[in-house]
Amino acid sequence: MAKQLDLYYYPECPYCQRVLRAIDAHGWKGITLKDIHKDAEADATLVRVGGKHQVPCLFIDGDPMYESLDIIDWLTKEFA
């Protein structure tokens, strides 16, 4: 079964833009975008589950992964 992938981000964040560019460039599909500046519940979930208020953060089946380069590496392998 496909994994649930949720990317917590906000558009002005350059590290988020790096991840979004990679998603766009590779055409990776099925990643739900959660803008924490527009979605207060997502903002709270990020801190409650992830433990820190930092974006980008990719939730993989509910488990948070921080760091833009780690996220891109993981997605590259997942979508290979």
Stretch that binds ligand GSH, among 7-15, 26-34, 37-45, 72-80 (CB under 6 A): 7-15
Whether the CB-CB separation of 16 and 9 falls below 8 Å is answered with yes
Interface with ligand GSH (CB under 6 A), residue from 21, 37, 38, 53: 53
- Tell me the per-residue interface mask from 25 to 44 with ligand GSH, x by CB under 6 A, - otherwise: --------------------
Task: Look up residue 40 and give its amino acid.
Answer: A
The distance of closest approach from Cβ of residue 1 to ligand GSH in the complex, given in angstroms and rounded to an integer, is 28
**What whole-number distance in Å separates Cα of residue 30 and Cα of residue 65?**
17
Strand, coil or helix: 7? strand
